[in-house]
Amino acid sequence: MKAPVPHRLLPVCTAMLAVFLVQSGHARCIDEENIENRIGTGVEAVPTEAQGPRMTLPQLVHEAVRRSHAIGAAKLLAEAAQADADEARVAKYPQASLGASFGGTGSSVEGGASESGSQTRATLNLSAPLFDAGRNDRLTDWRRQLAEAARLGELSAEEQIGLQTVSLVLERGRYRVQQQVYQQFSRKMGCLVQALETIVAADKGRASELVQARKTLQQADLSLVQTASTIKQTEVRLRRFVGDALPANDAIATGLLKLPSLPELMDEAERSSDIAQLDAQAEAGDSYARAVVAGQKPQVNWSVTGAKSKGVGSSSNWFAGVNVNVPIYNAGNDYSARAARKRADAARLQRADALEARKFRMAEIYEQANSAFDRAHRVTDIVRDSDRLRNFTLQQWQQLGRRSLFDVMGSESEHYNLRVAYVNALYDGQQATALLWSLGLGILPRLQ
């Protein structure tokens, strides 16, 4: 018969059993995590469970532009403005009109004969301006600049759709990578809980540690569920732009990871479609002001008119000549010209204000993007140290008993929170870069 184990050795044996069980359980956790470590800090890979086509970011943006009703409306408005410009352009061409009438007519002279009966009359009129002091040319310029502003408005609408699409794609990618991190955290905690359940079965005094591990697991699961819900909400908003067939991959433009230089962005701001649209509106205001002034000067046009009547009082007549109209006095002329000039000046001030606000906004976003990328770089080093720290803490708790489970839980939580912080910093930088692109020449040219 085996000798009984001395009472003083029982805690030692229990501790050794606990260490063996925890090490066995942790070995399984490590094996599991080795597979997951392919994504490093959580941004180098994305889930592949999603169903849908594999689309690049430019393809997604072009699909969003194609489907947008707002862009369709802006395009129609641009075409309508171009038609107005064409109408103003051809106003100086000759115009011809033909008229006809049929009815009864009568005439009488006091003390003389009278006559009445039916009459058919046809008229032909042909006219064209000879001189208008440039009024029609200025009106044509006005309409042409308004058409250009409408075309640039269409580009601005496309840019807004492109920016929203890119932002939503980035948000979806951010939360899908966060989901991976929380999945790993949950599996790690689940593995530790299983090991502790085996330990508690042999040593009831470790029950509080099991409760602590389960609480941390529940927190990890809660974060995972909340992230999954956020992904679904983001996908609902993304479907509005790209349709139901969401891409299976989180398409990212590599250029979003590179921050352009601020002076280059400032130069691009002056050539952006929004600023160019305000330029066109200011030029249109100037042209209209000049057209108002030209309308107060003499106007000359030529005309040819012919008429033929048959029936009672049959006759024919014609006229060919030049008509001259010289404005002499109109109390409202000066006010009209003054109002047109002030609108043009106001448009220029609006353009200057918009450009200034755009540049200051660029400087602010540039600093945010630079800070985000710097934060991501710094967090990367911290994550590496955190990974070593949690491994040391777990080893000391398992083998030496110098750390408590609370230390282990704290180091694990800190490590995965740092990985989430890295993901957020990286995606914050990418979104800020996309916004900088949009404030410059636009996202669409950059994605080509």
Report pLDDT for 250. 64
Query: What's the mean pLDDT in 272-288?
Result: 92
pTM value surpassing 0.85: no
- Per-residue confidence at 168, pLDDT binned at 50, 70, 90? very high
- Nearest alpha-carbon partner for 418 in 44, 47, 39, 41: 41
Query: What's the mean pLDDT in 260-272?
Result: 90
Report pLDDT for 445. 84
Report pLDDT for 337. 84
Residues 310, 120: Cα–Cα separation, whole Å: 5
Report pLDDT for 276. 93
Which position has the higher pLDDT, 286 or 18? 286
Q: Which residues of 141-174 are buried (b: 16+ CB within 10 A; e: fewer)?
A: bbbbbbbbbbbbbbbbbbbbbbbbbbbbbbbbbb
Which position has the higher pLDDT, 410 or 366? 366
Report pLDDT for 4. 42
For the chain, state the CA radius of gyration.
40
- Residue ranges of alpha helices (H) inside 243-299 are 262-270, 273-294
Max Cα–Cα distance, the chain, nearest Å: 163
Domain ranges, ordered by start, for the chain: 18-106+115-447
Report pLDDT for 340. 87
Report pLDDT for 101. 86
Q: Which residue has the tokens 């309409």?
A: 143
Percentage of the chain exceeding pLDDT 90: 42
DSSP 137: H
Query: What's the mean pLDDT in 311-323?
Result: 82
Report pLDDT for 251. 57
- Residue ranges of alpha helices (H) inside 301-332 are none
Report pLDDT for 185. 92
Query: What's the mean pLDDT in 413-439?
Result: 93
Over residues 70-102, the pLDDT tens digits come to 999 999 999 999 999 999 999 889 888 998 888
Report pLDDT for 3. 41
Indicate whether 367 pLDDT > 90: yes
Average model confidence (pLDDT) for the chain?
Answer: 82
- Nearest alpha-carbon partner for 279 in 359, 360, 344: 344
Cβ contact 289:337 at 8 Å: yes
Structure tokens at 374: 């710097």
SS3 of 322, please?
A: strand
Report pLDDT for 39. 34
Indicate whether 316 pLDDT > 90: no
E strand spans, 56-165: 95-108, 114-131
Q: Which residue has the tokens 């044509």?
A: 140
| The dihedral formed by the CA atoms of 294, 296, 297 and 301, expressed in degrees to the nearest 10 | 90
Indicate whether 5 pLDDT > 50: no
Indicate whether 47 pLDDT > 70: no
Which position has the higher pLDDT, 128 or 331? 128
Structure tokens at 198: 């085996």
**Matching CATH number, 18-106+115-447, of 1.20.1600.10, 3.40.50.2000, 3.90.550.10, 1.10.15.40:** 1.20.1600.10
- Per-residue confidence at 256, pLDDT binned at 50, 70, 90? confident
Indicate whether 365 pLDDT > 90: yes
Q: Which residues contact residue 113 at a Cβ distance below 8 angstroms, ignoring those fewer than 6 apart?
A: none
**Range with the poorest average pLDDT among 49-63, 276-290, 371-385:** 49-63
Q: Which residues pair with residue 195 across a beta bridge?
A: none
Cβ contact 220:55 at 8 Å: no
